[in-house]
Amino acid sequence: MTFKKSLVLTTALTAVGALAATSAIAAGKPKLKISGYQETFFAMNLDRVAGQTGTGTPTMNGGGDGSLTILQYGEIRFKVKGKTDNGLKWGVRFESVAGNDAATNGKKVASDEAHMWVQGSWGRLEIGGQDGAADRVRESTKNDITIDQRFAAVVADTRGTRLRGAEDYGSINDSSDDTKLTYWTPRVSGFRGAYSYVPSAGARGSVGTNAGSFHEGSVSYKTKVNGGKLRVALRGTIEDAAAPDGSDLEAWSVGASYAIKGFKVSTEYLDTGERRAGTAGDEGSAWDIGVSYSQGPWKVGIAYWDAQHEVSGASDDEYQQILIHGAYSLGGGLTISAGLISFDNDDSTAANATDGEVAVVKLLAKF
C-alpha cells in the first residue's frame, strides 16, 4: 500500500471511529442561516491590449484602449447547523451563484459549493463540494486587498504563451470546489493541520480535468506578538501523474501576515511547479507583498506581485504587477472600493510582451 493510500485510509478510519466517542447530550433543533453578497465591477482598460476571459470568470468583453466593461458576481449561502444526542456537531452548506459562467455573460444562477460536515473534540470532517485544505488556509496579500488583482488579466491581456492564468502569479494549483474528503485537526498551541483528498478522475476545478487523484494539505499557526496578530501558513498540493513528463504535479507555498493598530503586512512565496500543459523541466514561482491600513470605515493599501517562469532551453518569462486600492464602508452592508493596477509582462517572445494599466470600481453589498 502506498503512503498516500495509507494516509487516506487512516484519516477516514480515525474520523469514523471518533463519531461515537462523544458523551451524551440532548440534541436541539437544527438552525438555518441565510447570508450572501452581490458585487458589481466597473473596469476600464487604460492601455492598448484587448482582454481575455479566464476560466470560471464571466465575460468582461474587454476591448482596446479606454474600453469600459461591467461584471457582476454574487452568492447566496444556506447554512444549517445541528447537534446529535451524543453532542456531535454537524452542518450542511449550499451556495447559489450568479454570474459564474462566461458563456451566459453573468446571467446564470446555479449551485456552487454543497457539502456536509461533522465536528467533535477530535477535529472536523467535511464531505462534498468545498474548497480544500490548501486553498482555505492561506496567508498572502490576496486576503487583504479590496480589489481582486486578477482583473488585469481579464480586462487587459497580461498573458503570453507561458505566464498565463492565476496559478502563475496568484495561486498554486488546487482542486477548487470538486467533491472531496477533508479532515481538520483541532487547533493545539496555535497549530492546526488539514488534508483533502479528491478520489475521482475527471475532477474539475483550477486543475482542469485530471487523470488521477488530487491531494491538498496545510499547516497553519496563529499567535499574538507585541500586541499584534501573527499568522503563518504552509500549504501544498499534489496532482497524480499530471506533469508533462507523467510524474506527479507538485506545488507549495508559505505565507505570513502581521496586523497591529490598523496596519497589516502580508507576504507569500509560491512554487507553482511545472505547468500541466507545459514542457517537461519548466518551473514557475512567484511572490507577493502588501501593506494596508484601516481606520473606521476607510481602508487603503498597496500590493506587489512578481512571477517567474523558468523555461528549458529558452529565456525566462517574468510578470510584475502593482495594485493601489482603497475602500469605504457606507454602512448597512454596502461598501464602495476602487483600485488602479499597473502590470508588465516581460515575455521571452517579443510578440507576447505586454504592459498597461487597468482602473476598477466595485460596489459590494453584504447581507
- The grid coordinates listed for 304 are 506587489
Residue 250, CA distances (Å) to 6, 37, 239, 275, 281 in order: 19, 34, 7, 10, 13
C-alpha to C-alpha distance for 130 and 94, rounded to whole angstroms: 10
- In the three-class reduction of DSSP (H, G, I as helix; E, B as strand; rest coil), residue 194 is classed as strand
- In the three-class reduction of DSSP (H, G, I as helix; E, B as strand; rest coil), residue 303 is classed as strand
Beta-bridge mates of residue 223: 230
The model carries a pTM of 0.82
C-alpha to C-alpha distance for 367 and 364, rounded to whole angstroms: 10
Q: What is the pLDDT of residue 54?
A: 38
Q: Which of 216, 228, 140 is nearest to 180 (CA)?
A: 216
- In the three-class reduction of DSSP (H, G, I as helix; E, B as strand; rest coil), residue 86 is classed as strand
Q: 10 Å Cβ neighbour count for 2?
A: 7
Q: What is the pLDDT of residue 255?
A: 97
Q: For each of the chain's 367 residues, which pLDDT tens digit applies? A: 554 555 555 555 455 555 555 444 556 789 999 999 999 988 887 765 544 443 333 344 444 556 677 888 889 999 999 999 989 999 999 888 765 444 444 445 556 788 999 999 999 999 998 899 999 999 999 899 999 877 777 677 665 545 544 444 567 888 888 889 999 999 999 999 999 999 865 544 444 444 578 999 999 999 999 999 999 999 999 988 777 777 888 889 999 999 999 999 999 999 987 766 666 667 888 899 999 999 999 999 999 999 888 776 666 788 889 999 999 999 999 999 999 999 888 876 776 677 888 899 999 999 9
Q: Is the dihedral of CA 140, 141, 147, 152 positive or negative?
A: negative
Domains of the chain in start order, with CATH, are 33-73+131-366 (2.40.160.10)
Evaluate whether 222 touches 190 at the Cβ level (below 8 Å): yes
**DSSP per-residue letters across 89-148:** EEEEEEEEEES--GGGTT--EEEEEEEEEEEETTEEEEEEE---TTTSS--SGGGG-SS-
